[in-house]
Every structure is written in structure tokens, then in C-alpha cells.
Structure 1
């Protein structure tokens, strides 16, 4: 039998991997210059297929990044911040110095015209709910 701590750590590792993959997809789309609408697949009837909540969240982040003309790296930072992550977490996840992460956060906030992580989360959530 596994301890509760072991199970929780395994779950955290799994969630971190899924989050990393989502951020990488966003970054790749941004680097390719795709807009959120171009990255959404269409069915034969021309309608967008039913999307998972994570995909909608990613699309909301991409839409915001596209509208603000964020770089690929800034898009990665946006996606992490929108998930409620701290600057320290962003620095660790992207393997950059904390001051570099702070610089990216400052650029993201400036380009979006916001002043806090909560405002960023609210902006992504607003787009997410409209999708």
C-alpha cells in the first residue's frame, strides 16, 4: 500500500506534466504565429468540435496573448500566471532567473494593461466564459 503523501506527490507530478504540456502547446502556437481560431480544429460541418475545459482555457490564454501581441515566452508566462502560479514558480518552471521572470511578468501586465495576477486571471476567465 502507498502512503497518502506518495499518492499526492505522484498526482502533483502528473498535474505539473499536464500543465507543462499545455504551456508548451501555447508557446508553440504563438511561435508559429497562429491565432486561437486557426488552432481550433473544425468538424466536417464547419463547426468547432466540443472542447475540453483545458483546451478552452488554453484558447482563452492564446486569444488574450494574440490580442496583446505577446511573444512566445510571454505567452508561456501568461499561461502560468493565469493558472495562479507565482513568479517563483514561473522562474522554476521555465528555468529562468527570478528577475527575468519578473521582467516577463511586467511586460505581460503592461501589454495587457493590467496591474495584478488577479486582474490577469479575471481577464482569462472572462474570455473563457464567453467561449
Structure 2
């Protein structure tokens, strides 16, 4: 479900999207650590979006998923599901998606430096570790 959400936020084109960059892995790791307080908000948001899409959010075409999320971004999702029209949930997942997509791969997202390659930023070595080539 979350993978379908982040995929709609940053879909793949000629470059990898959020799904390919493993943004969900980043979010999952952070929900166990730094974002632990936001676990209930994620559960509620995912449940509400799934109800909004009648249990089919992950299966519907990208264009329809994008429409659902655009309504949330504008705060126009049904008030019965989201007291604020979905705006807070949308902004939370968007912020974490961007962090996972553009952040350091050592945190779980940006697999193979996907976004850095896309924008022309050279991958940096991990701090505190020497880089070397294994010779056989």
C-alpha cells in the first residue's frame, strides 16, 4: 500500500522512481527509529486511503492513485476519513518520500544512488570508511 503511494509521488520514467529507489525501506526503517511517534499516523493514513479507494489503492492505475493523492494535497479528501481533508497525511508521506529518495543510501532509500545519478551528483563515500577495491 505504501509502495503504491510513494510510487505515485515519484513515478519512474527514464529514471528510477521511488519504488525502484526503495523509499519504502527507508520509511520502514525510520518508523522503527526516528519516526516512531508517527507510526499511528501512518496506520491511520494508509487505512483511510485504502477505504477511500475501496480496498484497491495498490491495484488502481497510477493516474487514479495520483488523483486520490492530489485531492489529499488540496485538503479535499472526505472529512469522514481525514479530519483535515488528508493534507497532513499527504505532507507527512511526501516529506518522508523525498527524504528517502534524495537522502543517503546508507539510510535505506536512494538505492544505487538513483536520485543522485539523475541530478548529476557524484556518489560520496560513506563517512568513516576507507574505500578500496578488492583485488583477486
The alignment's TM-score, normalised by the length of structure 1, stands at 0.28
Give the number of the structure whose alpha-carbon radius of gyration is greater. 2
> Which has the larger helix fraction?
1
Higher normalized contact order (CA 8 Å, seq sep 6+, divided by chain length):
2
